[in-house]
Amino acid sequence: MLGNFAYCNPTKLYFGDEALQYLNEELPKYGKNVVLVYGGGSIKKNGIYDEVAEILKTNGKNVTEIAGVMPNPTLEKLYEGIEIARKHEADLILAVGGGSVCDYAKAVSVSVHCDEDPWEKYYLKFEEPACEIVPVGCVLTMVGTGSEMNAGAVITNQETKLKIGHVFADENIMPRFSILNPKYILTLPHYQMIAGIYDIFNHICEQYFSGEDDNTSDYISEGLMRSVIHSSRIANKDPQDYEARSNLMWTATWALNTLVAKGKPTDWMVHMLGQAVGAHTDATHGMTLSAVSLPYYRYIMPYGLTKFVRFAKNVWDIDATGKTDEQVAEEGLAAMESWMNELGLVMNITELGADEEMLEGLAESTLILDGGYKVPGRDDIVTIFRNSL
Amino acid sequence: MLGNFAYCNPTKLYFGDEALQYLNEELPKYGKNVVLVYGGGSIKKNGIYDEVAEILKTNGKNVTEIAGVMPNPTLEKLYEGIEIARKHEADLILAVGGGSVCDYAKAVSVSVHCDEDPWEKYYLKFEEPACEIVPVGCVLTMVGTGSEMNAGAVITNQETKLKIGHVFADENIMPRFSILNPKYILTLPHYQMIAGIYDIFNHICEQYFSGEDDNTSDYISEGLMRSVIHSSRIANKDPQDYEARSNLMWTATWALNTLVAKGKPTDWMVHMLGQAVGAHTDATHGMTLSAVSLPYYRYIMPYGLTKFVRFAKNVWDIDATGKTDEQVAEEGLAAMESWMNELGLVMNITELGADEEMLEGLAESTLILDGGYKVPGRDDIVTIFRNSL
């Protein structure tokens, strides 16, 4: 049921191989003090850092930096960034990187003018900011999370081994603008590319595999999934295929900007399972999802059979003639598994560094959410992790 | 090819049967002077007018009205509205109605502070406004045009028999907010309901049937088309099915808010043909489109065969085994024709009041646009209209 909801995604997206020039149109809208946020320095090697720095200089900005934002941004790093942004009296936070860098920038943006502890307020109590929010802009250099057009920000508390994502309700937390240049992602290692692709696909699954009715979000989701499958096969063979990479970049944005969640309860359990793996192993986000997905989906399939049958037919073109619903549904998941293997995704958590001894700890770190076809108990979680070994 | 583009749709949508209450959240953001725009007075019969008036009063607004906006808003009516809005020093234009009322409100919004003639500037020269734009909000009471989340505004010059739509580039022309309550459309006559449904479907077709590649927009379009077909069949049998009407309302917004046009040349010829019929007969917009669609699509099919084959398979589930591409493509259009007949759409322009003698005049009023698989010549246009009789 579509029900009652509000939708507002005001982020201005500049897409294409000429997109960076529009930074010149955006920068004059903000004050002088810019905090430039980036990760491990790959943007210095590929020249993006120099291009962005030049544009900031041309626009007369007073720039300070937060460098070294890690793939799973830590709470410690967040505290460090808040101090830098406060000291610099930031008028704009410019994130240049992938989803982690964008997430981090948003987490800083709601914390600079907040008197309370951000971990406590935003990640344990899931409260909305009551303070001024520093505007965020993004230049995307990796693809998958959709962070460039949503109000989500995942932070990892290394001490408590909790990796928590908060999707804020206030659209002012979404980036004011995001620059999406598919050329920037052509040089990513294959491993990062396919991890990002699976992240996109899983975002759609998390929203699609919930709810009993056939609403517009299900239909849009099926279109997006087919697009991802189509382009991923081209990109997997030829990562330099600009067109395929463009389409993947664009689907990533639409997979997680709230659109396909409209009218859906949504079931984020694969992310919860994957985030637990990430908190314990620091593995690449997309690979933590691919490693636990099929054991999870095979666990919930009997409770959401109708949707899994639909998935098989509409996404994987499974011919249902003369088959039981269970057979059709399983053939859909088998087709998905085959596609995942074709891409070369990590299919078990052992490969990510997990082992039998970690199972209880992983289950301990897994937030159990409702919304799915079956809310797993603690024992189910352990079993799903065991089946993921 | 996705190529280079910008995307920004900042309209805040409030969706559902409780949506109107959010007018109370939006109104305080604007100044005191509100121009309330509506059509033929049906909102007075069904109580929406009273509800809106009450909320305006509670919020202390100084309200003046532009009533009687017609289904194809005329240039004369536009001039009248501009004068009213100027005299009232409008801070907000609140449109309560369908696409025509929303379109009209936007046309007024870009003209109030414009010194030039709006017809000349916006509809003949297709220029962007250089003046201040008065904010627009919408309360939607009919479904189909997508006007609630785009920057388009169609105006008809009765003198020259030209009905021209300008889709402005500036996102500030999009409504600041739109209230989409599916309950408001449950009482629409069946004729209006199905005309709106075809308008939605055709908007998607106009964008889908262009371009040679398989990009994300094609996949999203197919999802939206399948959703429209699914819900239209339910609504056609039971117009009171809130859920089906909700999904139709939501697809209408996404069919024409620029999303599925990304990376597409787009081909608006069915709208050009339909708008010519509308300018000569004042027929309902959606019915002018349904009446000319199949003759047009059968005309361009040989030039865009690959896409018509894809349409047949992905939208209508046509089994292609052992058939030529031409057969598959024609079966897709036949399935579409059968669905149109099932809904009870107008399938020829004769029923709308056109005849053999009008053909030349209709062709004269048809703007020929490129972007499609084949740009028709003047003679082709006459033939398409003749095949639509």
Asked if residue B1 belongs to a domain, the reply is no
Chain B contact present for A169, CB below 8 A = no
The answer on pLDDT for A170 being more than 90 is: yes
For residue B264, CA distances in Å to A227, A235, A244, B207, B271 come to 15, 21, 15, 6, 17
- Identify the residue whose tokens are 């909801």: A5
Decide: helix, strand or coil at residue A74.
strand
CB B13 within 8 A of CB B178: yes
Stretch 3-62 of chain B: residues touching chain A, C-beta under 8 Å: 3-19, 22
Residue A282's pLDDT band, with cuts at 50, 70 and 90, is confident
Chain B contact present for A321, CB below 8 A = no
Asked if residue B5 belongs to a domain, the reply is no
Residue B290's pLDDT is: 98
Report the complex ipTM: 0.96
The answer on pLDDT for A236 being more than 90 is: yes
Residue B282's pLDDT band, with cuts at 50, 70 and 90, is confident
CB A291 within 8 A of CB A349: yes
Cα gap B343→A272, rounded to integer Å: 45
Asked if residue A4 belongs to a domain, the reply is no
Q: Which of A107, A274, A289, A269 is nearest to A196 (CA)?
A: A289
Chain B contact present for A170, CB below 8 A = no
Domain shared by B17 and B74, yes or no: yes
Residue B374's pLDDT band, with cuts at 50, 70 and 90, is very high
- Identify the residue whose tokens are 């054991």: A295
Residue A214's pLDDT is: 83
Asked if residue B6 belongs to a domain, the reply is no
Cα gap A196→A343, rounded to integer Å: 11
pLDDT 10s digits, B90-141 = 999 999 999 999 999 999 999 999 999 999 999 999 999 999 999 999 999 9
Q: Closest Cα of chain B to A1: distance in Å?
A: 6
Beginning with the edge strand found earlier in the chain, give each strand of the sheet holding B5-15 in spatial order: A62-66, A33-38, A92-97, A136-140, A177-180, A5-15, B5-15, B177-180, B136-140, B92-97, B33-38, B62-66
Task: With CB atoms and an 8 Å threshold, state whether B219 touches A227.
Answer: yes
Stretch 251-290 of chain A: residues touching chain B, C-beta under 8 Å: 251, 254, 259, 262-263
Q: Would strands B162-167 and B152-157 be described as parallel, antiparallel, or unpaired?
A: antiparallel
Cα gap B58→B52, rounded to integer Å: 10
Q: Residue A273 corresponds to which tokens in the numbers above?
A: 């399972």
Q: Residue B187 CA to chain centroid, in angstroms?
A: 20
For residue A245, CA distances in Å to A98, A181, A228, B7, B127 come to 15, 10, 10, 18, 34
Domain shared by A64 and A79, yes or no: yes
B282 or B208: whose pLDDT is higher? B208
Chain A contact present for B214, CB below 8 A = yes
What average pLDDT does range B226-238 have in this prediction?
98
What average pLDDT does range A210-227 have in this prediction?
95
pLDDT 10s digits, B241-273 = 999 999 999 999 999 999 999 999 999 999 999
The answer on pLDDT for A252 being more than 90 is: yes
Helices B190-208 & B285-300 angle (0-180, nearest 10) = 40
User: What single string gives the DSSP state of each residue in A91-102?
Assistant: SEEEEEESHHHH
Residue B209's pLDDT is: 97
Chain A contact present for B200, CB below 8 A = no
Domain shared by A80 and A170, yes or no: yes
Q: Residue B51 corresponds to which tokens in the numbers above?
A: 């509800």
What average pLDDT does range B160-177 have in this prediction?
92
Residue A218's pLDDT is: 98
What average pLDDT does range B278-305 have in this prediction?
95
Residue A136's pLDDT is: 98
Chain B contact present for A226, CB below 8 A = yes
Domain shared by A276 and A350, yes or no: yes
CATH number at residue B291: 1.20.1090.10
Contacts of A259 in chain B (CB under 8 A): 254
Interior/surface letters B51-64, b for 16+ CB within 10 angstroms, e for the rest: bbbebbeeeebebe
Residue B157's pLDDT band, with cuts at 50, 70 and 90, is very high
Of B10, B171, B216, the CB nearest to A250: B216
Best mutation target among A215, A253, A311, A318 (most B Cβ atoms within 10 Å) is: A215
Indicate the number of domains in chain A. 2
Last residue of a domain, one of B117, B149, B184: B184
Asked if residue A237 belongs to a domain, the reply is yes
Contacts of A5 in chain B (CB under 8 A): 15-16
pLDDT 10s digits, B48-61 = 999 999 999 999 99
CB B277 within 8 A of CB B354: yes
The answer on pLDDT for A217 being more than 90 is: yes
The answer on pLDDT for B163 being more than 90 is: no
Contacts of B218 in chain A (CB under 8 A): 227
Residue B214's pLDDT is: 83
Interior/surface letters A93-126, b for 16+ CB within 10 angstroms, e for the rest: bbbbbbbbbbbbbbbbbbbbbbeeebbebbbeee
Task: With CB atoms and an 8 Å threshold, state whether A247 touches B6.
Answer: no
Residue B224: what are its φ and ψ, rounded to 5°? -65, -40
Domain shared by B179 and B325, yes or no: no
Last residue of a domain, one of A184, A201, A219: A184
CA nearest to B221 within chain A: A223
CB B354 within 8 A of CB B281: yes
Domain shared by B102 and B214, yes or no: no
Domain shared by B285 and B220, yes or no: yes
Of B12, B19, B222, the CB nearest to A8: B12
CB A260 within 8 A of CB A150: no
Task: With CB atoms and an 8 Å threshold, state whether B220 touches A216.
Answer: no
Residue B79: what are its φ and ψ, rounded to 5°? -60, -40
pLDDT 10s digits, A62-86 = 999 999 999 889 999 999 999 999 9
Task: With CB atoms and an 8 Å threshold, state whether B215 touches A2.
Answer: no
Last residue of a domain, one of B129, B162, B184: B184
Domain shared by A168 and A132, yes or no: yes
Residue A37's pLDDT is: 98
Task: With CB atoms and an 8 Å threshold, state whether B7 touches A22.
Answer: no
Asked if residue B265 belongs to a domain, the reply is yes
Chain A contact present for B313, CB below 8 A = no
Domain range enclosing A159 = 12-184
CATH number at residue B150: 3.40.50.1970
Decide: helix, strand or coil at residue B322.
coil
Q: What is the mean pLDDT of chain B?
A: 96
Domain shared by B204 and B294, yes or no: yes
What average pLDDT does range A90-108 have in this prediction?
97
E strands, chain A, are 5-15, 33-38, 62-66, 92-97, 136-140, 152-157, 162-167, 177-180
Decide: helix, strand or coil at residue B87.
helix
Neighbours of A378 (CB within 10 A): 12
Residue A210's pLDDT band, with cuts at 50, 70 and 90, is very high
Q: Which of B66, B151, B65 is nearest to B106 (CA)?
A: B151
Q: What is the mean pLDDT of chain A?
A: 96
Task: With CB atoms and an 8 Å threshold, state whether B6 touches A13.
Answer: yes
Domain shared by B135 and B198, yes or no: no
Cα gap B35→B92, rounded to integer Å: 6
Which helix (H) or strand (E) segment is A364 a member of? helix A359-364
Cα gap B245→B254, rounded to integer Å: 15
The answer on pLDDT for B291 being more than 90 is: yes
pTM above 0.90, yes or no: yes
CA nearest to B249 within chain A: A216
Asked if residue A3 belongs to a domain, the reply is no
CB B48 within 8 A of CB B97: no
Residue A163's pLDDT band, with cuts at 50, 70 and 90, is confident
Cα gap B320→B165, rounded to integer Å: 38
Asked if residue B360 belongs to a domain, the reply is yes
Residue A306's pLDDT is: 97
Task: With CB atoms and an 8 Å threshold, state whether A247 touches B18.
Answer: no
Cα gap A92→A105, rounded to integer Å: 10
Task: With CB atoms and an 8 Å threshold, state whether A223 touches B227.
Answer: no
Domain shared by B201 and B150, yes or no: no
Chain B contact present for A126, CB below 8 A = no
Task: With CB atoms and an 8 Å threshold, state whether B6 touches A17.
Answer: no
Domain shared by B122 and B242, yes or no: no
Q: Closest Cα of chain B to A263: distance in Å?
A: 10
* Sign of the dihedral through C-alpha A54, A55, A57, A63: negative
